[in-house]
Amino acid sequence: QRKNPFSNNDRLASKPVHTHRGDPTYGRPPEGSRTEQRGKDAHSHVGKEVEELCLIIRSTGEVGEDGHVSVTFGQLFETYVTISNKVVGILLRARKHGLVHFEGEMLWQGKDDDVIITLL
């Protein structure tokens, strides 16, 4: 980078020389950088999509005996795909945060249409 005519030497001097796995800044963009802001914006956007997915499940699903709202993957896919083509990824994120439950690692259109998705 020091030989690159497009790089800014001031920028190279401000970066830490080496970070190690134990360092809390390891794998993270510099604080206050545009990269950090883009990451925060992306995280916020995905959070909004997860909330929207939960609202769709609540509005299209049925309340079961346990009081939880459930919907089949096929029905959710048909409803949500008109909003976003990332329905499976958003479902996985929602499950990671404990907002929904469904059986299996991954859901596939057609094959898993009868899998029940429960809003927790």
Lookup result for tokens 């509005």? 59
Q: What is the dihedral of CA 14, 20, 25, 26, to 10 degrees?
A: 110
Quick one: pLDDT at residue 10? 56
Q: Which domains does the chain have, with CATH numbers?
A: 32-117 (1.10.10.1540)
Instruction: Say if CB 75 and CB 83 are below 8 A apart.
Output: no
Specify which residues 62 forms β-bridges with: 70
Signed CA dihedral, 83, 85, 91, 97: sign only: negative
Q: Where are the alpha helices (DSSP H) in the chain?
A: 9-14, 34-60, 73-80, 87-96
CA distance linking residue 114 with residue 42, whole number of Å: 31
* pLDDT tens sequence for the chain (120 residues): 556 666 665 555 455 556 778 888 888 888 888 999 999 999 999 999 999 999 999 999 999 899 999 999 999 998 887 777 788 999 999 999 999 999 999 999 889 999 999 999
CB atoms under 10 Å from CB of 50, counted, come to: 19
